[in-house]
Amino acid sequence: MKFAVPSITGAFANAFASKRTAAPEVKIGQRSSMKEYDQPLVWVTLLLLLSGLVMVYSASVSLPDSPKYANYKTHHFLIRQATFICIGLFLGLLAFRVKIEQWQKAAPMLFVVALGLMVLVLIPGIGKGVNGARRWIGFGGINLQPSEVLKLMMVIYAADYTVRKQQFMHQLTKGFMPMAIAVAATGLLLLLQPDLGAFGVIVCIAMGILFLGGINIIWFGGISGILVGVFSLVILLSPWRRERIFAYMDPWVEENALGKAYQLSHSLIAFGRGELFGVGLGGSVEKLHYLPEAHTDFLMAVIGEELGLAGVLVVTFMFYWLVRRAFDIGRQAIVLDFTFAGLAAKGIGIWLGVQTFINMGVNLGLLPTKGLTLPLMSYGGSGVVINCIGLAILLRIDYENRLLMRGGRG
């Protein structure tokens, strides 16, 4: 006996005819084929984390030969990165158990806490400076980077703000200005560190979520132009940022190659040496004290040298899939009338996508050098842990979507 199978379009039209959706019709005794959670999302995340762990070890194994790291063992960064991943997965598991509505309720308070951490960084004796930048708070042997926390909190706060102010999204004073003030406050705190790269990511998160939330397109375009002017002015008023821009435009001039474009020129050399399939895992020459910060900001250059174009394309595709999946989950949540969850999911996609694009662009010479790590892969405790928590929230959003489509309660 044959049964007619409804089309996907028809099923969704019937399921979402009202705010409360009904469960798909399933025969008695028949088990639904829908998984309880997004298994591919989990596997891609784990694959990026473990690939990053391998590449961090490869990029840092020779660092103890340098006087700066003379007291370190060859596996120092491997052990620490593995520890960060374990902590991130544990905290991510805890974050997954928190309902999305509770994240929404706590959004304003979490944002205020993140701003408080940003203020603590600037207090002498609390904030820790490295290479002229004060971006960390030291806790014994662990350093917390509040700007990483702020990225996730901005996603949650902007999504909550857009939902609360939905009826005012077309107004300048009630709709846009409060968020603009919040972004300006974070921008000021980040520029005092200074951390222009993180400020750029946070601006993209806030503007992206407001745009998806239906802000007036005229105000959006005008404010975007103002932000471009602000970033340009910051660069023009900062001599060392100007020098970095000029060096980026022509990195092969001897003065630039030995100065502000030193990292960029050696990063490009690493990609050139890698060619199609790389020189082999562990065979990088540029990581032997030629390319500074090879295990953090310029990890992609080591990937390009050791694994070649093939390795770079695989990593790029995994990040592309991750960002696209975040938008798919967000779109599904909005269809289910979970607007906050949908905007938060898309905000996580914007965050990971923008930061990945900037990091890869810097490594490839498409963008001026900025101190942004590659999400999930580069060495760094704060980044890895917060990335894991963010993706756990994304997984929770998808889980609640599936639960509702099964006929359960979100």
Taking only the tens of pLDDT, the chain with its 410 residues reads: 444 434 433 443 444 344 344 444 444 444 555 677 889 999 999 999 999 999 999 999 988 888 878 788 888 999 999 999 999 999 999 999 999 999 999 999 999 999 999 999 888 878 877 766 778 887 766 788 999 999 999 999 999 999 988 887 777 777 778 888 888 888 888 888 888 888 889 989 988 998 888 776 776 777 777 777 777 777 777 777 777 777 777 788 887 777 888 888 999 999 999 999 999 998 999 998 888 888 999 999 999 999 999 999 999 999 999 999 999 999 999 999 999 999 999 999 999 999 999 999 999 988 888 778 999 999 988 999 999 999 999 999 999 999 988 776 54
Distance, CA of 177 to CA of 183 (rounded, Å)? 10
The pTM for the full model equals: 0.86
The DSSP annotation for 384-402 comes to: HHHHHHHHHHHHHHHHHHH
Q: Is residue 131 a contact partner of residue 319, using CB atoms and an 8 Å limit? A: no
| 388, two tokens | 């894991």
Tell me the two tokens of residue 315. 């990593």
**Contact yes or no for 53/380 (Cβ under 8 A):** no
E strand map for 231-343: none
Q: Give the pair of three-digit tokens for residue 287.
A: 């990581």
CA-to-CA dists, residue 101 to 104, 107, 113, 341, 344, angstroms? 5, 10, 19, 8, 11
Closest CA to 115 of 159, 160, 181: 181
Q: Which amino acid, 250? A: D
Query: Can you read off the two tokens belonging to residue 71?
Result: 């007291």
Ramachandran region, residue 28 (left: φ > 0; alpha: ψ -120 to 50; beta: rest) = beta
Q: How far apart are the first and last CA of the chain?
A: 36
Strand partners for 127: 124, 137
Q: Are strands 133-139 and 127-130 parallel, antiparallel or unpaired?
A: antiparallel
Q: 364 with 272: CB under 8 angstroms?
A: no
Question: What contacts 24+ positions apart, CB below 8 Å, involve 16-21?
Answer: 16/335, 16/336, 19/337, 21/336, 21/404, 21/405
Residue 400 has which token pair? 């609640």
Q: Which two tokens stand for residue 266?
A: 């050696």
Are 103 and 118 in contact by the 8 Å Cβ rule? The answer is no
